[in-house]
Chains A and B, each alone.
Chain A
Amino acid sequence: MIPNLQLTEDGRLRHLLTLEGLPARILTQILDTAESFISVAEREVKKVPLLRGKAIFNLFFESSTRTRTTFEIAAKRLSADVVNLNIATSAQSKGETLLDTVANLSAMQADMFVVRHASSGAPHLIARHVAPHIHVVNAGDGRCAHPTQGLLDMFTIRHFKGDFHNLRVTIVGDLLHSRVARSQIHALTTLGCPEVRVVAPRTLLPRDVSSLGVHVHHRMETGIRDADVIIMLRLQNERMQGALLPSAGEYYKHWGLTPDKLRWARPDAIVMHPGPMNRGVEIDSEVADGKQAVILPQVTFGIAVRMAVMSILAGN
């Protein structure tokens, strides 16, 4: 990963590819700017004219309804023109390379690409080859990063908890395959969170997990004890077939967040989930719909955070 690819020579954000290596001042600028976009959504006209005349292409090589929709809404609220491309069913299936696809779209006067790809590093590859005025936003690549999800999670934590300096944050679930968790850990560490814990069965932890600066737990009781924030990760169904886990029922019993387990955390702890949820697998319905859950505010904040990212990029 080359962190400098995403910064200009004078240290401003040019592309958003990963939160790894981004300084706290840029993360904070994005969160502060997002704060101002929240109020735009409460108005009669939920649009500002910032990106009028700009063309934003959503390139989703892997499907994701929620992420694509929130990027689309964010771009439209900035008055940009949005083009959604479902690449799985288009030119790539006819054999066109990724860079040829991007070159063709650039020839259609694109100003920004929002890229979701199953392969780690695909947005970086695009960022290295686009013209200087074009910006690239990573909307999730392989197991690597999902920076806007990480940012909206930080926005949510800051919104409910004020700041990061006295917080104990626990991330529970499939860290091995999660690009979301990596982005969250980088952001939390950069923003000064003193204690980040991860809880997962050994088979779902990456080998380098301790090098990320987190405390590793295998049992929920120790992992979420006195936590201020609990982030549940989605357990992807296909992991069941890979012999990484015995069964969904077994997973729920040990690592699913139930009202009983939630009592180990602080009474004012918030529960987050990047979605889509598997009720009865990683999270109990009573918790998901309970008063400590902030899962739907996460979605709302995601629009403001993506507006902030796109407007900062387009102006740099």
Chain B
Amino acid sequence: MKKIFVLIALLAAFSCDYVEDPLGDVIVVDPTCVEPTFAQNTNTKRNVLIEDFTGFYCNNCPRAAYRIDTLKNNIGKQIIPVAVHVVDQFAAPRPADAPKYQTDFRTPGGNDIWTAYGGIIGLPSIMISRIDTFNNPARFQVSDLTPFNDQVRQLIDDVPVVNLQVKANYIASKSLVCAYAETEVLATLADDHSIVFMLLEDSIIDWQLYSGAGGYPFYSAGDIPDYLHKHVLRRSMNNYLGETIITGGNNVVGDKTITSSSYMVTESTWKPEHFEVVAFVYNNRTKEIMQAYKANVD
């Protein structure tokens, strides 16, 4: 019996990893990047980040993309869409279908977002500024697109608690994307807040499967060889959780913080002229995105 307890104790000792610092080391910006100057931020509106979980083999996903596109056309730059390609079944390259569906739009950061916040509902599904649609356990993802417009329109009238402006540039000689953000506290915040930088590529022409549902006026049902993939997430530049920049209970209105991030592009098929950088600030406790900003990469 004594031996058995020793065996159990050994198993316990060797089979448990207690993690005390889940976030590990902070990612720093490349020293080549140069910090820009920011003018006074006069924005008074809250921007809404719409993360669209999608995949080129998800035949109903163009329907969701079209709805988001229509909303953006109607509302304007307050709407910031990000297409996050996830789920192997819908987004993994399909060698058997070559030359169709060979581009892998999945990203480690996108997969992290899907596993952390999505995953409960299938595709297509979206998150609207990661608002918790169901408290405890939190749930951020919605699949029913019917009330989608109303939810977004409610948010765009909110008074922002944080302001944000972003500048980004591409250093071709080093294939380096540099991004800087200025965050300004507009209302005293009780919770910690973090900033995340995302690198997007817009207007990628590639294959997409489409069921024909949803009334997309430009495409017919079937395999579409020249589908316009918009705002595709290419990289979570400072990981999907980002970096904490505001300490809850220890901030005052007018506090400003400059944060930076960079990414060395090694993928030859990416087109820097189509790059966009999206930065957003979220509440660490509720996960809600309080402000977002999209900048073109100069």
Question: Do A and B bind?
Answer: no
B interface list, Cβ under 8 A from A: none
Q: Please report A residues at the B interface, Cβ cutoff 8 Å.
A: none
